[in-house]
Chains A and B, each alone.
Chain A
Amino acid sequence: MISSALIEQTAETLMAKAAIEIPDDYLTGLKAAAATEDGELSAFVLQAMLDNYEAAKQDRRAMCGDTGVPRWYVKMGNSAQIEGGPVALETALRRATATATKTIPLRPNRVHPLWRTDHDNNVGIGAPEIEFGFEPEGDWIDLVTVHKGGLFGTDYRMLFPSDGIEGIKRFYLDSLVAFGKRGLACQPAIIGIGLGGSKDSCMVLGKRAACLRVVGDRNPDPKIAELEDELKILGNNIGMGAMGFVGKHMVIDCHIEAGYCHTGGMQMSVHAFCLSSRRAVARITADGQISYRTDPDWFTPYQRRETVEWPLPQDHDKSA
């Protein structure tokens, strides 16, 4: 049984980690980009960002003043048990979000879309988003918080099979060029692409591809992995760098996730994470152990399963 107090306390720590600490995989990717950037202004910007991560860590202050719209991804092993059930879990995450907004502090970004009501704590109707996933084994719970920006760098388009890979490339470039100008996409970033699903799930897949996979990770489908490589290079060939200045680094990595869609369609979404790639992860096990990491490891074989059945682990046969 995992206590809801422990969940709340861990979630508060995660909020600070996401806002303040640049994940290693992205930092390594950005350093590699900075080392080879020859656009004068772009190179200056990348160096300033590297200085900024250091300042954030030293001062324990948020990397970016726009601390995004905090959200939660919760993954549970099939035998995980939460004290108070799922409602207690959601309450713990809402409390942690509100508390951390004041203590770090974060910018209270969340307002009502029409009335602009601001509770000054990033909590409101549908905020923070809390999404769930499950794994066939384990008594643990993974908490992932992502502080993604909420304004620019994301788009959706209904494509069709006849549009093909060339159509995918066109929409990908359109999105990067459109939002890259003046740096509205906060590039260079991890770019996530959702293919297929329905309009809503396509957006979800693309966002998760941007926010829940780490730099260097590749889709297990070798042809999709190839396309990820190809699109990364294509994005960096635009000639646009940080802030939309002349440069050669727009994409630190490109991740694609696919979902089965209507036979007539090929939905596509594009999502740019940002220069701060704010994500933090913790696993809490049934015995109360907490381990922090930065790789959400969300897209397991189970999450990408194609079959009706999935072999469940048998208690009496652990080797199965």
Chain B
Amino acid sequence: MAASSGPRQISLSTTPSEADIKALRLGDIVYLDGLIYTAREGVYMRALEQHANVPMELPQQSAANFHCSPAATINADGSFSLGAVTATASFRFAKWLPEWMARSGAKLIIGKGGMSSQDYKDYFVPNGAIYLSTVGYGTGALLGRGVETVEAVHWHEELGIAQAMWVLKCNHMGPFIVASDMDGNCLFERENEKIAKNLEQLYEGTKAPSLKRFGETDDRRDELIGNASNTPDNS
């Protein structure tokens, strides 16, 4: 299963077993088989806030929620043309994900950039779910190739093409990278930690700006002019 060099490569069902999920390690490369569906803010709001019935059997048909809007067209005859497929950044969906995961039984959340380890510990691990990140970004043509057929498009009239719920049949669709595990670890945070060791040295000789911005101080009573207390090199 493991390639001779580089990260491990694994084939995974979009209705994975508990054991399948448990076996995944941070940084593994995954290719998917089965049905996945796209759901992002439009679908979440419609399903969770407006209480519309989700037009799929979840998670029996698919436990793989893709944060994605494909580059696609619905043709005049009702057929679909689908080109490239790339994820969108997932952190913006944290507001809806706990409820969505409990409701949908999703085991694979697929998107761009991942969530925080706190999110993983709070509601991914309890739901037996992990996060898969797309690669690149984005390998839209490769992922597009992995779509065998468009099974259905739900709610496109209500939500538009970009926000609609696209149900895609995948055949060895990938690559994706395992970005969380069942201990709630976060691949990106692990990498950030390694990179952070170098930052102090990197910034040596640079200079803090003479005009700060809110955000660099979170105390709105502060002035933005003058000696930045957070800049030791600016003596």
Contact = CB atoms under 8 A, between A and B. Distances in A.
Contact of A107 (B69, B135, B137, B139): B69
B141 A63 contact: yes
A61 B144 contact: yes
B206 A66 contact: no
Contact of B135 (A104, A109, A243, A274): A243
Contacts of B175: 44, 48
Contact of B143 (A43, A65, A151): A65
How many interface residues does chain B have, given as a range? Answer: 35 or more
A120 B161 contact: yes
SS class, residues of chain B in contact with chain A: loop
Q: Which of B142, B191, B210 has the most chain A CB atoms closer than 10 A to its own CB? A: B191
A169 B206 CA distance: 6
How many interface residues does chain A have, given as a range? Answer: 35 or more
Interface string A234-245: 100111101111
B160 A104 contact: no
Interface stretch (A130-138, A176-184, A201-209, A220-228): A176-184
B102 interface: no
Nearest to A51: B142
B190 to A, nearest CB: 9
Contact of A65 (B69, B192, B208, B211): B69
Interface in A147-162: 151-152, 157-160, 162
Contact of A67 (B84, B177, B203): B84
13 contacts: A40-B7, A59-B141, A59-B144, A63-B140, A65-B84, A65-B140, A66-B69, A118-B161, A166-B206, A184-B112, A234-B202, A238-B202, A243-B136
Interface of B: 6-7, 27, 29, 68-73, 81-89, 112-114, 133, 135-145, 160-163, 175, 177, 188, 191-192, 194-195, 198-199, 202-203, 205-211, 213
